[in-house]
Amino acid sequence: MIGEGATGSGAQGDEEPAIRFEGVGKRYRDGTEAVRELTMDVRRGELVALVGPSGCGKSTILRMVNRLVEPTSGRVVVDGRDTAHVDAVELRRGIGYVIQAGGLLPHRTVRDNVATVPRLLGWDARARRARADELLELVGLEPGLHGRRYPRELSGGQQQRVGVARALAADPPVLLLDEPFGAVDPVVRDRLQAEFRRLQTELGKTALFVTHDLDEAVRLADRIAVLSTGGHLEQYAEPGALLSDPATDFVVQFVGSDRGLRRLAVTPIRPEDLEVPATLAPGDGVAYAATALEVDGRSWGVVLEPDSRELVGWVPRGALTEAMRRGDRAGRVGDWTQPFPVVVQRAETMRSAFSTLLGQELRFLPVLEGTEFLGVLTPDVVHTALRAAPAAPAALPVDGTGTA
């Protein structure tokens, strides 16, 4: 089965999901039917994105989990308990909630904002402060420096971090995020996304987040739920599967004509897709090398140290034939070897690798795992990889870590 064990969420089979929507509906008092009969599960430790056009019911769905909005039909089950039967205040203490721009209290210091839930839980001042400082550090803020400030004295990205710290304060197993990165500029957003994903995975939190940004969803989520008006679930799938096999016309429209490009972000570099050119050693003679490259059919070869197979560079066939023409039969490959301007690591996504390839003159780049040479990335390789089966996202690093 596609995707089995691919979400990094551990055992999935019979395990109680972290969040279960069972035929959930919401009709607002004015008669607006925001959500009609939604049924879906969020597994423990999973990061799920809700995407869809404005007004399709994403926020309503999210807010029914912590009962900021009460469902009018069906059940929302969190951690095996029907939320309708759990005290709303108690429920919310077990669910972190992050909104745009952090949703911080302007007249409280950063430290007090982070300690909101511990205060509600009756922790003493010292324990609250220690927990707040621990969390500020966790999200990359300096407690001594930022703890005493007020939210307006922080940048948008810093406020967002404080919002995440506050949501984590009581160590809730479930996090809800409503457009968490919507208000920060793109460069900061990339970094915050990557940091959040790392934190969420490390801490093993289940996260449900709303975004209108499909690329954000593709980059972060284990699974994406695409919704249309009325909270109708059009497709619920891993990013790679969603982009390669949109289930309905609505999803096709929604993911857009550039879904091929979007898929690069969830396509791993697989050694079997790489080109394997002729390899030469620096000590090989030019006559031998020229023949080897002619047989191989490429206009270049890769040069490796003979024993360690460590990458030395590449050699253009033209230089070898030119050397031959000039009668330089004693010449060695090493005399004509050029270093690669940049290399690609196998753990990168195809998106960053392809971007690197486009950013420089050579049409081929070596792919390494550590120092081991695996093969060569070319535009053809990118095409082949994209045409192959959808990727298992668990194998992928979070893209964007190289940004900023």
- Is residue 161 within the footprint of ligand ADP (CB under 6 A)? no
Distance CA 47, CA 30 (A): 33
- Is residue 70 within the footprint of ligand ADP (CB under 6 A)? no
Strand 232-237 vs strand 279-280: parallel, antiparallel, or unpaired?
Answer: unpaired
Question: What is the distance of C-alpha 140 from the center of its chain?
Answer: 19
Among 30, 90, 124, 307, binds ligand ADP (CB under 6 A): 30
**Residue 55 Cβ vs ligand ADP, minimum distance, rounded to whole Å:** 4
By CB under 6 A, which span of 28-36, 167-175, 327-335, 369-377 interacts with ligand ADP?
Answer: 28-36
Handedness of CA 349, 352, 353, 354 (dihedral sign): positive
- Comparison of 59 and 159: residue with beta carbon closer to ligand ADP: 59
Among 15, 32, 256, 310, binds ligand ADP (CB under 6 A): 32
Judge residue 68's burial from the number of C-beta atoms within 10 Å of its C-beta, 0-12 exposed, 13-18 middle, 19 or more buried. Answer: middle
Distance CA 218, CA 115 (A): 32
- Comparison of 60 and 158: residue with beta carbon closer to ligand ADP: 60
Among 2, 15, 23, 28, binds ligand ADP (CB under 6 A): 28
**Residue 53 Cβ vs ligand ADP, minimum distance, rounded to whole Å:** 7
- Comparison of 56 and 368: residue with beta carbon closer to ligand ADP: 56
- Comparison of 33 and 134: residue with beta carbon closer to ligand ADP: 33
Size of the site for ligand ADP (CB under 6 A): 12
**What phi, psi does 223 have (nearest 5°)?**
-135, 150
| Contact assessment for residue 47 and residue 207, using Cβ atoms and an 8 Å cutoff | yes
**Residue 210 Cβ vs ligand ADP, minimum distance, rounded to whole Å:** 6
CB burial of 109-139 (b: ≥16 within 10 Å; e: otherwise) equals bbbbbbbbbbeeeebeeeebbebbbebbebb
Distance CA 260, CA 255 (A): 10
- Is residue 211 within the footprint of ligand ADP (CB under 6 A)? no
Q: Which residues contact 3 (CB under 8 A, 6 or more apart)?
A: 237, 238, 241, 392
**Residue 68 Cβ vs ligand ADP, minimum distance, rounded to whole Å:** 10
Distance CA 149, CA 45 (A): 33
**Residue 151 Cβ vs ligand ADP, minimum distance, rounded to whole Å:** 24
Binding mask 41-60 for ligand ADP (x = CB under 6 A): -----------x-xxxxxxx
Q: Which residues bind ligand ADP (CB under 6 A)?
A: 28, 30, 32, 34, 52, 54-60
